[in-house]
């Protein structure tokens, strides 16, 4: 627990003008049962456990079953978060699913989740901000709640990246995994809450991390499939550089808005893409190593699900308790980035 209660100078932070707080009342996560180790990958592409571990920190990742889709994982995570929050399906006003691997181009995965969890009253839409999607979702949910449009919003980050990874490309296939995480956001009077969320984007660097095929620019044809255009592509080194810069500046801006310091944070949960990125961000923010939450060794990069799964694990493992200050910071394709400060 934080001993001294910080003052929040920014009027957007902490409470809206009528003393309302946007609170995360429950979190939940789901990862598929199948864990694929680096040693299994050694049999698929020209790589080694030593290379993957030393360059990324990843030891294994979860891989969804053939008949297990993004909406299935999202629904499981949502049900767990709703149980933790004590929220029933008929109380949900809005479902936001952040994903780059929807079950299909349309309808939205959020609509499929609505049906799976029985939240028949809820509006539902997908949000596409790659690995930054969960923070974008938190900010959007906060706006809907503060404007009094909705009271209960569930934000889900869910991915089946194994379905868009090129399993012949050692540069990318070792990095990604599948899973889902969810947060329930509700209005609460003068209690703990989401203090601020920052979002950013730079479309001029879209080529650094993209999937060329499958959209209106390059619909599926025999040629596009043969040219492997329906798989994720990434320029790793360049992406790495931008990730560190963007995450540091998003985190700094989020803290500035709340008039808080890195040292006030009980826990920092960065996007789980690469251990070296996390360490570089931690160094530049002058964070203590014990402030950083890391689980990418077990899950790899799960894109929009990454910080959502990590937040759930940080709560369930007792790393954070009610009243603790938590910083989430993310980066992804787009390019996109974001950060959020939560008084848990
Ligand atoms: N096994 C063995 N060798 C490999 C592998 C592998 N799995 N992958 C690449 N290599 C080789 C390369 O071919 C290259 O060999 P060469 O020098 O003979 O050409 C060598 O290793 C070095 O490659 P680099 O790209 O320089 O390796 P780097 O140290 O940059 O690490 C990595 C690569 C892990 C991809 C890193 O750049 C990275 O993490 N980038 C950022 C990823 C990220 O943050 N993504 C964020 C968002 S993801 C989203 O939005 C969905």
CATH number assigned to the domain comprising residue 19:
3.40.47.10
- For each of the chain's 344 residues, which pLDDT tens digit applies? 344 444 444 444 444 434 568 999 999 999 999 999 999 999 999 999 999 999 999 999 999 999 999 999 999 999 999 999 999 999 999 999 999 999 999 999 999 999 999 999 999 999 999 999 999 999 999 999 999 999 999 999 999 999 999 999 999 999 999 999 999 999 987 666 899 999 999 999 999 999 999 999 999 999 999 999 999 999 999 999 999 999 999 999 999 999 999 999 999 999 999 999 999 999 999 999 999 999 999 999 999 999 999 999 999 999 999 899 999 999 999 999 999 999 99
Residues 35 and 115 in one domain: yes
Residues 156 and 245 in one domain: no
Query: Which one, of 85, 86, 150, 100, lies nearest residue 124 by Cα?
Result: 150
User: Is the residue at 4 inside a domain?
Assistant: no
Give me the active site residues, please.
131, 271, 301
Domain's final residue, options 123, 153, 186:
186
Q: Tell the residue nearest (CA) to atom 36 of ligand 1.
A: 236
Which of 171, 299, 333 should be mutated for ligand 1, with most atoms under 8 A from CB?
Answer: 171
User: Is the residue at 252 inside a domain?
Assistant: yes
Amino acid 191: pLDDT: 63
Residues 146 and 237 in one domain: no
**Where is 181: in which H helix or E strand?**
strand 178-189
Q: How far does residue 262's CA lie from ligand 1's centre (Å)?
A: 29
Q: Is the CB of 242 under 6 A from ligand 1?
A: no
Q: Is the dihedral of CA 227, 169, 134, 256 positive or negative?
A: negative
Domain's final residue, options 137, 158, 186:
186
Amino acid 227: pLDDT: 94
User: Is the residue at 227 inside a domain?
Assistant: yes
Q: Tell the residue nearest (CA) to atom 9 of ligand 1.
A: 171
Tokens standing for residue 9: 């100078």
Residues 252 and 307 in one domain: yes
Q: How far does residue 50's CA lie from ligand 1's centre (Å)?
A: 13
Q: Is the CB of 223 under 6 A from ligand 1?
A: no
CA–CA separation, 220 and 118 (whole Å): 33
Q: In sequence order, which residues have a C-beta less than 8 Å from that of residue 19 and are 6 or more positions away?
A: 189, 190
Query: In residues, how long is the chain?
Result: 344
**Where is 325: in which H helix or E strand?**
strand 325-332
CA–CA separation, 264 and 191 (whole Å): 18
Q: What are phi and psi of 57, to 5 degrees?
A: 85, 0
Query: How many structural domains comprise the chain?
Result: 2
Distances (CA, A) of 194 to 130, 143, 259, 325: 21, 11, 14, 10
329 contacts 251 by C-beta, under 8 angstroms:
yes
User: Is the residue at 6 inside a domain?
Assistant: no
Residues 145 and 215 in one domain: no
Residues 57 and 170 in one domain: yes
Q: Tell the residue nearest (CA) to atom 2 of ligand 1.
A: 47
Residues 30 and 175 in one domain: yes
Residues 23 and 172 in one domain: yes
Domain's final residue, options 128, 151, 186:
186
Residues 31 and 175 in one domain: yes
Report the nearest atom of ligand 1 relative to the CA of 301.
48
Q: Tell the residue nearest (CA) to atom 20 of ligand 1.
A: 171
Residues 229 and 180 in one domain: no
Residue 116 is part of which domain span?
13-186
Amino acid 20: pLDDT: 62
DSSP string, 233-299: EE-HHHHHHHHHHHHHHHHHHHHHHHT--GGG-SEEEE--S-HHHHHHHHHHTT--GGGB---HHHH
Q: Looking at beta carbons, which pairs linking 164-167 to residues 24 or more positions away fall under 8 Å?
A: 164/100, 164/101, 164/211, 164/230, 164/231, 164/232, 165/231, 165/232, 166/228, 166/231, 166/232, 166/233, 167/44, 167/45
Q: Is the CB of 163 under 6 A from ligand 1?
A: no
User: Is the residue at 3 inside a domain?
Assistant: no
93 contacts 151 by C-beta, under 8 angstroms:
yes
Report the nearest atom of ligand 1 relative to the CA of 161.
51
Residues 176 and 220 in one domain: no
Q: In sequence order, which residues have a C-beta less than 8 Å from that of residue 79 and are 6 or more positions away?
A: 28, 117
Which of 236, 303, 329 should be mutated for ligand 1, with most atoms under 8 A from CB?
Answer: 236
User: Is the residue at 2 inside a domain?
Assistant: no
Beta bridge partners of 299: none
User: Is the residue at 22 inside a domain?
Assistant: yes
Beta bridge partners of 127: 98
CA–CA separation, 18 and 2 (whole Å): 25
Amino acid 49: pLDDT: 98
Residues 141 and 221 in one domain: no
Distance of CA 155 to the CA centre of its chain: 10
Tell me the three state secondary structure of residue 19.
coil
Residue 271, CB-side half-sphere exposure with 13 Å CA sphere: 34
User: Is the residue at 5 inside a domain?
Assistant: no
Amino acid 11: pLDDT: 42
Q: Tell the residue nearest (CA) to atom 3 of ligand 1.
A: 47
101 contacts 131 by C-beta, under 8 angstroms:
no
Q: How far does residue 171's CA lie from ligand 1's centre (Å)?
A: 5
Amino acid 8: pLDDT: 46
Q: Is the CB of 245 under 6 A from ligand 1?
A: no
């Amino acid at each position: 627990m934080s001993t001294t209660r910080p003052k929040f100078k920014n009027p957007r932070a902490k409470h809206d003008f009528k003393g309302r707080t946007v609170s995360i009342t429950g979190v939940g996560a789901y990862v598929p049962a199948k864990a694929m180790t680096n040693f299994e990958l050694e049999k698929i592409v020209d790589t080694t456990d030593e290379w993957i571990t030393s360059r990324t920190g990843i030891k294994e990742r979860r891989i969804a079953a053939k008949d297990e889709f993004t909406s299935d994982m999202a629904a499981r995570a949502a049900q767990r978060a709703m149980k933790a929050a004590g929220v029933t399906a008929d109380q949900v006003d809005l479902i936001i699913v952040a994903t780059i691997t929807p079950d299909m181009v349309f309808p939205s995965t959020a609509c499929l989740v609505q049906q799976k969890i029985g939240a028949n009253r809820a509006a539902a839409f997908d949000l596409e901000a790659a690995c930054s999607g969960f923070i974008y979702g938190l900010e959007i949910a906060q706006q809907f709640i503060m404007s009094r449009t909705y009271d209960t919003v569930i934000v889900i980050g869910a991915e089946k990246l194994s379905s868009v990874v090129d399993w012949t490309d050692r540069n990318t296939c070792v990095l990604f995994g599948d899973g889902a995480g969810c947060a329930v956001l509700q209005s609460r009077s003068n209690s703990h809450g989401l203090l601020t969320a920052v979002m950013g984007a730079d479309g001029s660097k879209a080529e650094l991390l993209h999937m060329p095929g499958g959209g209106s620019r390059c619909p599926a044809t025999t040629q596009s499939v043969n040219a492997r255009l329906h798989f994720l592509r990434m320029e790793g080194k360049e992406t790495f550089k931008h990730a560190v810069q963007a995450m540091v500046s998003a985190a700094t801006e989020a803290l500035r808005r709340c008039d808080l310091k890195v040292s006030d944070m009980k826990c920092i949960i960065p996007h789980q893409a690469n251990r070296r990125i996390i360490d570089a961000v931690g160094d530049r923010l002058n964070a203590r190593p014990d402030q950083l939450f890391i689980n990418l060794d077990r899950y790899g990069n799960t894109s929009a699900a990454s910080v959502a799964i990590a937040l759930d694990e940080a709560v369930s493992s007792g790393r954070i308790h009610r009243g603790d200050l938590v910083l989430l910071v993310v980066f992804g394709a787009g390019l996109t980035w974001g950060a959020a400060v939560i008084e848990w």
